[in-house]
Structure 1
């Protein structure tokens, strides 16, 4: 089966040995994605909801490169550095996914790679090529 990889262009992909997203057949796996802009800078350092929106937008951009959309997402994982912000993160996730309503897990972690990062999002999509 063909393997299609998406690169975000960061230096870390080659060093760590990962891809932004990988599609094999009808399945797409999107790596942990944070709220960074096109220059790799963290946006909204103290706003968990806005970071969630941006991270999901970045997930969506990766999906689009392998002919998938947010509507194809069947699973997300949300890693947050402060579980007390769960409602803001959850609402932003709900805004993005609406009736898609993927299976979702939210987990508090002690920290992410940058102290300004509050949220990291992973996604799994299944594309109906029907």
Structure 2
């Protein structure tokens, strides 16, 4: 499987080198994972630290890491991240947590502000797409 994270010269560079414009997958084998959006909930399904983007982001990436690991993947296998935030003013707090999980090439990314999320107190939801290498 060949994965290429690319920023072609035919378009403007990503803002602040925070993401790749294109994630290309050429799989002779392997699998593609499409994770549902994750919110920062504890093991009982209760929102952790209502209104706190950093605490919720920490929990979200813990959950995503567990889902990826259960399928033989890790953060280095993530091709795309889609983030829904109730306040883009919280972007720096989220970015500080997210960047620790992606120290190398950044995956393709979409971040949008939404009016609200499905659980009261949740301020961020993150979904990812990942490529699992063949065993």
TM-score (norm 1): 0.76
Aligned-pair RMSD on alpha carbons?
1.6
Q: Deviations over 1:40-62 (max 9, x none)?
A: 11111121012112111111111
**How far apart in 2 are the matches of 1:98 and 1:118?**
24
Which one of the candidate residues 27, 32, 54 is aligned to 2:37? 32
Alignment of 1:13-28 (within 5 A): 25-28=30-33
Counterpart in 2 of 1:117?
Answer: 122
Give unmatched runs, 5+ long, in structure 1.
Answer: 1-24
Q: Which moved more, 1:66-75 or 1:95-104?
A: 95-104
Q: Which residue of 1 aligns with 2:132?
A: 127
Aligned length: 107
Structure 1 window deviating more from structure 2 (42-51 vs 111-120): it is: 42-51
Larger Rg: 2
Answering whether residue 100 of structure 2 is matched by residue 95 of structure 1, we say: yes
Structure 2: 5+ residue stretches without partners: 1-29
Segment of structure 1 superposing worse, 73-82 or 41-50: 41-50
Q: Which has the higher contact order (CA 8 A, sep 6+)?
A: 2
CA distance in 1, matches of 2:41, 2:105: 24
Taking structure 2 as the reference length, the TM-score comes to 0.73
Runs of 4+ in 1 over 4 A off after TM superposition: none
Cα separation, 1, equivalents of 2:117 and 2:111: 14
Give 1 or 2: higher helix fraction. 1
Instruction: Say whether the 8 Å CA contact 1:34–1:51 is kept in structure 2.
Output: yes
**Could you say which residue in structure 2 is the equivalent of 1:74?**
79
